[in-house]
A and B are shown apart, each in its own frame.
Chain A
Amino acid sequence: MHKIAIALGLTGFLAVIAVVPATLAQQRPTVDAAKVDAAIQAAFPTFPTAASDWTPRLAPDETMKQCVANDNLPPKAVGDAIMAREKATIQYPTDGKLVGDWKKGETLAQSGFGLRFTDYPARDRPNGGNCYACHQLTKTEVSYGTIGPSLLAYGKIRNFGEAETKAAYEKIYNPHASYPCSLMPRLGNNKVLTIEQIKDAVALLMSPDSPVNQ
């Protein structure tokens, strides 16, 4: 489904999903949401650090609830509501500069470090964005995943445009702002990456001298 949606692009995607969800929704078993929540609460009794770091992870927020209820293919009205809600979360650098250092971007794209229960107690090491887990980015890195589309030559294809640079920043900050129920993490919104790190990831995609564009 997702592959098809990506191929069609967003407009096609929204047109397709407008007809699909009713049939999909019927296949889901009926389980009381409170029962699921209670099972989750009981299944994770111990946390490596303060409970306040962990309990929020156990529950989906409103957007995730809507995505799960629609098998990640929300009908148009729900999708529009998600995009509006998620777009409102995006914070921009105060100096207005969206492009950081692509070398740091490459490092964070390679790194899956951070927020796993073995990553505590906190170390003096930044979280990674783990882009390569899901995306092809450069010709040199052959160990890449395929959950997301290839980002080879991302900036070059887009002529390193200003609007496209902003779109890349917003995508990394919160992918649901443009693609409701994306499988990509909300790295900015969920405080996985800092604004500085997101700028570095943008640089990896949008700098002419980045290995992504060679």
Chain B
Amino acid sequence: MELKRTLVAVLLVIGLSPVAMAQDLDTEKAIERYRQMLKADPWSNPGLLDVDRGETLWATPRGPKNVSLEQCDLGKGPGKVDGAFAELPRYFADADRVMDVETRILWCMEKLQGFNRADLIKSPHPSGGQPVKELGAMATYVANKSSGMKFAAKLDQPKERETVALGQALFNRRSGPFDFACTTCHAETGKRIRLQGLPFLSNPEEARKVIGEWPAYRVSSTHVMTMQHRLVDCFWQMRMPPLELGSDVSVALIAYLAKTAEGGEINAPALKR
């Protein structure tokens, strides 16, 4: 409640609206004001609303089987959320797959709660101005429970190593009408597209600075954006079709990014442009 009141105050002060957000420069200014507010009061981070929402969703009996996700094993044993995100992605024997946090929550929603996977992945990400969907809110909650820790996914099992290697190959792969790869935009220091800074993501030093910020509250679209959603957006710029949530491509890219960011601090949800 207290949090909500602070947030409303923040939004009023900044005068946030999707229209005002349309301009890059306005966005930069809004971010700067946000940063000041956050310094004064860390609880004014609007992403924390979705952490709360995610925590409630996690613990609420839901789905056809009417159970909560408290028995969901994120890798550290059923129900263990603290620190789990810091060790993801990882191989899960029950699914015989490597999974990132969102893919794992999707799996738990399907297997434990009985939700229909096809329904969950049909439209998994919010459009601008809409709040992050339920799965994303829970991923934000889980990530937040590793805030302050360092990325420590081992990714040393054969299947995990294969996944990271696939991610690296995908990161370099050029196709589509613009011949883009992730490397077109993320393989050099200090480049930008229009005014948007482009981190050099295959560089451990730069990856460590930004990968731990996701899921992030995105000022330009006024909602929390998860890493799976971030990838959809980048593939959109690449003129590729919509990336399926939980696909091997999505997991492999996230595993590659997390491996590159190993040792970087987690600070999710952070504030992004």
* A interface residues (Cβ-Cβ under 8 A, vs B): 1-3, 28-31, 35-36, 39-40, 42-48, 54, 57-60, 64, 67-68, 71-72, 115-118, 132-134, 143-147, 183, 185-186, 190-192
Mask: chain B, 108-124; 1 = CB below 8 Å from A; 0 = not: 00000000000000000
Residues of A near B198 (CB, < 8 A) are 147
A-B pair number, CB within 8 angstroms: 123
Contact B243 A44 (CB under 8 A): yes
A-B contact list, 10 entries, CB within 8 Å: A28-B169, A43-B243, A44-B242, A57-B175, A115-B178, A116-B237, A144-B194, A145-B195, A185-B177, A190-B178
Give the distance in Å from the alpha carbon of A118 to the alpha carbon of B183 in the complex.
23
Chain B residue at minimal CB-CB distance from A134: B193
Interface set, chain B 151-202, CB cutoff 8 A to A: 162, 164-166, 168-170, 172-181, 183-185, 188, 190-196, 198
Give the distance in Å from the alpha carbon of A68 to the alpha carbon of B164 in the complex.
17
B248 at the interface (CB under 8 A from A): yes
Residues of B near A54 (CB, < 8 A) are 241
Contact A43 B195 (CB under 8 A): no
Mask: chain B, 198-222; 1 = CB below 8 Å from A; 0 = not: 1000000000000000000000000
B92 at the interface (CB under 8 A from A): no
Contact among A31, A48, A58, A72 for B166, CB-based, below 8 A: A31
Contact A117 B241 (CB under 8 A): yes
Chain B residue at minimal CB-CB distance from A192: B177
B38 at the interface (CB under 8 A from A): no
Contact A133 B241 (CB under 8 A): no
Q: How many residues on chain B are close to A (CB under 8 Å)?
A: 43
Chain A residue at minimal CB-CB distance from B242: A117
Whole-angstrom distance between the Cβ of A87 and the nearest chain B Cβ: 16
Contact A118 B184 (CB under 8 A): no
Residues of B near A183 (CB, < 8 A) are 184
Contact B181 A68 (CB under 8 A): yes
Give the distance in Å from the alpha carbon of A72 to the alpha carbon of B176 in the complex.
16
> Assuming the A-B contacts A57-B241, A115-B177, A146-B191, are A29 and B248 also in contact, with contact meaning beta carbons closer than 8 angstroms in the complex?
no
B4 at the interface (CB under 8 A from A): no
Contact among A3, A59, A64, A132 for B179, CB-based, below 8 A: A64
Contact A67 B194 (CB under 8 A): no
> Assuming the A-B contacts A2-B188, A68-B173, are A43 and B24 also in contact, with contact meaning beta carbons closer than 8 angstroms in the complex?
no
Residues of B near A132 (CB, < 8 A) are 194
Contact A145 B177 (CB under 8 A): no
Whole-angstrom distance between the Cβ of B18 and the nearest chain A Cβ: 16
Chain B residue at minimal CB-CB distance from A59: B175
Residues of B near A185 (CB, < 8 A) are 177-180
Give the distance in Å from the alpha carbon of A36 to the alpha carbon of B252 in the complex.
10
Residues of A near B248 (CB, < 8 A) are 39, 42-43
